[in-house]
A and B are shown apart, each in its own frame.
Chain A
Amino acid sequence: MRSLPSTCVRIIYTNRFRKFIASIFILLFLVPFSGYAEVSATAGEKAFKQYCTSCHQVNNKLVGPALKDMHTRRTEEWLIKWIRNNSALRATGDKDALAIYEEYNKNEMPSFLSFTDDDIKSIIEYVKVQSAAPATQPGAAPGTEGAPADQPSFWLYIVVGVLVVITFLLMRTNTVLKRLAYEKIGEELPEERPLLSRLKTKRAIAFYVIAGVFLLGFTLADSAMRLGRSKNYKPVQPIAFSHELHAGINQINCLYCHSSAEKSKIAGIPPVSTCMNCHKAIQQGESEAGTAEIQKIYAAFDKNEPIEWVKIHNLPDHVYFNHSQHVAVGKIACQTCHGPVETMPELYQFTSLSMGWCINCHRQTDVQFGSNNYYSMYTELHEDFKSGKIDKVTAEMMGGTECQKCHY
């Protein structure tokens, strides 16, 4: 600063000062004009979200009509009358009012008698501002497009292809170098045997046999171990439903859709009407593909046809398993058996569901014994627990590993 000439500093100072003064004037000039509309619209937004959004949207038709550009379609006077008491307006024989009433199957809009004219004007103002705003278009959302991460991608094939080409090039180089090396020491290149005869040498045959035994053994052991197991089973579902989006990002509780998990043997697949609880309003997905998937719900709903989801977690018929017993009584989290469902874009079987897996859990898991009235009948165990004879109670101690508990 000291090296700067004082005039220079002054110029900077005055320029900044002028700009500052000018901006204050501009602000002072603008505030009274912009402020009114702004305040009115924000008051309108609050009222709109409290009273209107449960039936109306600006751009979409929901329970009631879409409100976009309603201020150009109707007069403000009419709108005030309609919003405050639409049945009174209909009683006067107003044609527009009666037409809307008929169009929406005589589904009556509630009256808002307590609204002042200013309240209603602020709502109209808010809708006016919203109508001018561009409609939100569904676009690409992170994580919803592209190939699923766990499938070999296109790029993997390209890399393999390039590696194969490099291998062949290196082999060619090797032969050339070899020839050159032989030329240098002045010896003749050993005669190349034809490919077919080289594949018939004893060493080659021994290699085939060993490789064959290894391959067969591997396949046999692997398939034997997986016989009747379908861990990682991930069938293609009729709708590309993402548990990650619904249970993870949107934090919808598992029991919201699978409500019978705590009431009955089966966790239950939600009926289409459960989807419609939200998708009546959510008509656009996070991407275009998502919107197309949502359309499948409407197709099923309109035709009154069930969506044929593919069941993933299959237990053999000779095994009894009850969801309510584990969820409501045992207070086992869904994720214990089904894995981190809230992170799965496409659902798959997380655990093996083998008998060993069942028994392991019954042997190791600490039953919530003290706080749960369900187990009050096990008096002997309770006494032992209280006297400190045992420090935890497992399902096995209550007969959880007896054959007849699950096989009958």
Chain B
Amino acid sequence: MKERFNFRGGSLMMLVTGVAILLISSCYYPRTKPGWEYMPDMAHSIAYETYTANPFFPDSINAIQPVARTIPRGVYMPFHYSANISGYDSAGLYLRFPSWLGEKDLEEGKRLFGINCAVCHGYGGLGNGSIVVNPKIKNPYPPPPSYFADNLINLPEGKAYYSVHYGKNLMGAYSKTLDHDQVWKVVYYVKSLQKHHQDSITAKGATAIAIVDTTKK
């Protein structure tokens, strides 16, 4: 009878256990440290990696620009039009689509457009991208012009290339993320969007005239 009433020792044990459980569970992950590792001497690169600091360069940045007046191998091509209004105008006059570009590149152009341009310009090019027309954000991006308005519908491809390469007005430069060929594919896709738009307008006009004609008869 005496023993049955003696709960005190038991509750103390429970308390100790409870505190221990709390202590263990308080070591929660997600964590801000990567944790321990085994044999770190083989896990870490001796050579400086792309984004690590490099003490041999004055600004300690390892990812440096190519030496001046050199170009990297591959698809990069120098762009000879200067970044001002006269460069813009002469690009419009003299820069033309390269000969290799064709219908086969439309799909890739569309994909690249979807990644890089549609955020602002919208998938249809109307200037209604997801950061411009977005009810969930309070400070949407100022709307870019529609590709189909009279000031852009007949934009020469050279000017379009210039705008993607250097950026234009609020638009940033994409020469760092898209290479020469990719910019051309995007421009080709945009011009095809505009052509399709104009064709549909002329087609609509034609059908409207046809309807008017039939009523006259």
Give chain A's interface residues, CB within 8 Å of chain B.
Answer: 49-51, 53-55, 57, 62-63, 108, 112, 114, 136, 138-139, 141, 150-152, 160, 167, 171, 174-175, 178, 181-182, 190, 192, 198, 201, 203-204, 207, 211, 215, 218, 223, 226-236, 249-253, 255-256, 259, 266, 269, 271, 273-274, 276-278, 280-282, 284-286, 306, 311, 314, 316-318, 348
A198 touches which of B9, B17, B50 (Cβ 8 Å): B9
B13 interfacial contact with A, CB 8 Å: yes
Structural contact, B7 and A174, CB atoms closer than 8 A: yes
A55–B17 CA distance with the chains assembled, in angstroms: 66
User: In the bound complex, what is the Cα–Cα distance between A62 and B172 (angstroms)?
Assistant: 13
Q: Are A316's CB and B42's CB within 8 A?
A: yes
CA distance A151 to B177 in the complex (A): 37
**29 contacts across the A-B interface (CB closer than 8 A):** A49-B143, A51-B151, A54-B170, A108-B85, A112-B151, A160-B22, A201-B9, A215-B24, A228-B38, A229-B35, A232-B30, A234-B32, A235-B33, A236-B32, A251-B119, A253-B116, A255-B116, A266-B50, A271-B176, A274-B177, A276-B172, A277-B172, A278-B141, A278-B172, A281-B141, A282-B139, A285-B139, A316-B42, A317-B45
Report whether B36 and A223 are in contact in the complex, using a CB–CB cutoff of 8 Å.
yes
**Per-position contact with A for B128-151: 1 when CB-CB < 8 Å, else 0?**
001100101111011111100111
Cβ–Cβ contact B31 & A282, under 8 A: no
For B172, the chain A residues whose CB sits under 8 A away are 273-274, 276-278, 280
B71 on interface, CB distance cutoff 8 Å: no
4 cross-chain pairs, A with B, having the tightest CB-CB distances, nearest first? A277-B172, A316-B43, A251-B130, A54-B169
A235-B32 contact, Cβ under 8 Å, with A280-B170, A280-B172, A318-B42: yes
Q: Which residue of A lies closest to B149 (CB)?
A: A50
Residues on A with beta carbons closer than 8 Å to the beta carbon of B15: 167
Residues of B within 8 A of A139 (CB): 138
Say how far B119's CB is from chain A's closest CB, in angstroms: 5
Check B26 for interface membership: any CB of A closer than 8 A. yes
8 A Cβ contacts from B1-42 to A: 2, 5-9, 11-13, 15-17, 20, 22, 24, 26, 28-38, 42
When the two chains form their complex, are residues A250 and B130 in contact, meaning their CB atoms are under 8 A apart? yes
| In contact, B24 and A175 (Cβ under 8 angstroms) | no
> Which residues from chain B contact A55 at a C-beta distance below 8 Å?
169-170
Is the pair B51, A141 in contact by a Cβ cutoff of 8 Å?
A: no
Choice from B6, B35, B44, B120 contacting A226 with Cβ under 8 Å? B35
A51 contact set on B, CB distance < 8 A:
145, 149, 151
Q: Are A250 and B131 in contact (CB under 8 A)?
A: yes
Q: Which of B20, B137, B143, B151 contacts A286 (CB 8 A)?
A: B137
Q: A273 to B177, alpha carbons, bound, how many Å?
A: 11
Tell me which of A63, A108, A150, A190 contacts B2 (CB under 8 A): A190
Across the interface, do A250 and B138 meet the contact criterion of CB distance under 8 Å? no
Q: Which residues of B contact A280 (CB under 8 A)?
A: 170, 172
Interface centre among B24, B136, B142 (most CB of A within 10 A): B142
List, in ascending order, chain B residues with CB within 8 A of A234's CB.
30-32
* Interface flag for B173 (CB, 8 Å): yes
Residues of B within 8 A of A171 (CB): 8, 11
**Cα of A348 to Cα of B137 in the assembled complex, Å:** 24
Residue of A nearest to B75 (CB): A263
Closest chain B residue to A231, Cβ basis: B29
CA gap between A394 and B169 in the complex, in Å: 48
Assess whether A53 is in contact with B35, with CB atoms less than 8 Å apart: no
Q: Within 8 Å CB of A181, what residues of B?
A: 5
Is B114 an interface residue when CB atoms closer than 8 A count as contact? yes
Q: With an 8 A cutoff between CB atoms, is B201 at the interface?
A: no
Whether the Cβ atoms of B170 and A227 lie closer than 8 Å is no
Give the contacts of B50-85 with A (CB-CB under 8 A). 50-51, 61, 85
Instruction: From known contacts A198-B9, A306-B61, infer whether A250 and B119 are also in contact, taking CB-CB under 8 Å.
Output: yes
> By the criterion CB–CB under 8 Å, are A317 and B43 in contact?
yes
Cα distance A54–B171 when bound, in Å?
7
